[in-house]
């Protein structure tokens, strides 16, 4: 009975824990996605997984100073 009370208290304080496996699906994409980010997943140690996001470089703005 004490064990059930402790489990109930833990659930009340911390909420339900979710043991369900996330459903993962491949996203459509091509070269543009590969150039903007890289994903390195470590299945043995998920905390070592890395996502590298590259921001586009600065845009060059041309000003035509010959016109008034």
Backbone φ, ψ for residue 66 (5° rounding): -75, -25
Determine the pLDDT at residue 68.
55
Determine the pLDDT at residue 30.
54
pLDDT tens column, 9-51? 988 898 877 677 777 777 665 555 456 778 888 889 888 898 8
Angle, CA of 18, 23 and 24, to the nearest 5°: 130
Determine the pLDDT at residue 64.
66
Half-sphere exposure of 1 (CA within 13 A, CB side): 0
- In the predicted structure, residue 5 carries a pLDDT above the cut 50: yes
Determine the pLDDT at residue 65.
65
d(CA 66, CA 53): 40
Determine the pLDDT at residue 33.
47
């Amino acid at each position: 009975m004490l064990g059930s009370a402790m489990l109930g208290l833990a659930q009340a304080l911390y909420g339900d824990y979710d043991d369900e496996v996330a459903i993962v699906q491949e996203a459509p994409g091509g070269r543009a996605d590969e150039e903007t980010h890289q994903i390195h997943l470590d299945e043995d140690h998920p905390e070592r997984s890395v996502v590298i996001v590259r921001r586009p470089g600065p845009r060059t703005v041309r000003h035509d100073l010959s016109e008034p």
